[in-house]
């Protein structure tokens, strides 16, 4: 069985993952419960994927890299100097992910951003979606889903409430 690729992300009611400038300050204004299921999810993965913009943004949010105990790949269109805890990937995203899925390991987490998700969706490489719906309408921003994605049929495998947030867990129907 192939390793699942999982999108685990917070989203506004109107489908945005960040403000137009990339800010996610609005996420911290909402009353949650504990860590809103993050620790439980984090234990199910061993590989983290993100784009370069998301990688750079992590250092604006935290003093240290938040995933040092996971294998982390950062996709970049340009060559990057080596950095602790990450491997920069400057090759075909689709081919790279297909190879990762063949490994006998745990889930693969798409941390962000929208560019990487778009490539994976258009190549049918996302297996599950865990979306935490925030009670906020931003009106504009960076949308989670870009245009012209293939149609996907999903199965609702669970919901959880964390304070004012609702987490929706969907798997892709085969």
Res. 156 pLDDT band, cuts 50 70 90: very high
Say how far apart CA 27 and CA 17 lie, in whole Å. Answer: 9
What is the tens place of the pLDDT at every residue in 102-132?
999 999 999 988 889 999 999 999 999 999 9
- Among 146, 162, 142, 139, which residue's Cα sits nearest to residue 13? 139
- Annotate 33-79 with DSSP letters as a single string: STTTTHHHHHTTEEEEEEEHHHHHHHHHH-SS-S-TTSEEEEE-SS-
The pLDDT of residue 81 is 83
Q: Measured in whole angstroms, how far is the alpha carbon of residue 162 from the centre of its chain?
A: 19
* More confident position, 57 or 173: 173
What's the mean pLDDT in 55-79? 88
Question: What domains can you pick out in the chain, each with its CATH number?
Answer: 5-172 (3.40.430.10)
Res. 80 pLDDT band, cuts 50 70 90: confident
Say how far apart CA 101 and CA 159 lie, in whole Å. Answer: 26
Q: What is the mean pLDDT of the chain?
A: 93
């Amino acid at each position: 069985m192939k390793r699942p690729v999982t999108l685990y992300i917070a989203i506004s009611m109107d489908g945005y993952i960040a403000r137009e400038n990339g800010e996610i300050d609005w996420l911290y204004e909402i009353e949650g419960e504990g860590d809103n299921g993050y620790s439980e999810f984090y234990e199910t993965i061993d590989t983290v994927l993100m784009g370069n913009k998301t990688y750079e943004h992590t250092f604006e949010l935290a003093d240290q890299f938040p995933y040092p105990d996971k294998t982390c790949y950062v996709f970049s269109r340009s060559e990057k100097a080596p950095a602790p805890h990450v491997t920069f990937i400057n090759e075909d995203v689709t081919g790279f992910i297909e190879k990762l899925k063949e490994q006998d390991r745990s889930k693969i987490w798409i941390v962000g951003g929208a560019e990487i998700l778009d490539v994976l969706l258009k190549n049918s490489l996302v297996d599950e979606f865990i979306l935490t719906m925030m009670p906020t309408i931003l009106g504009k921003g960076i949308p989670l889903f870009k245009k012209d994605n293939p149609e996907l049929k999903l199965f609702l495998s669970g919901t959880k409430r964390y304070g004012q947030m609702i987490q929706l867990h969907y798997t892709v129907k085969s």
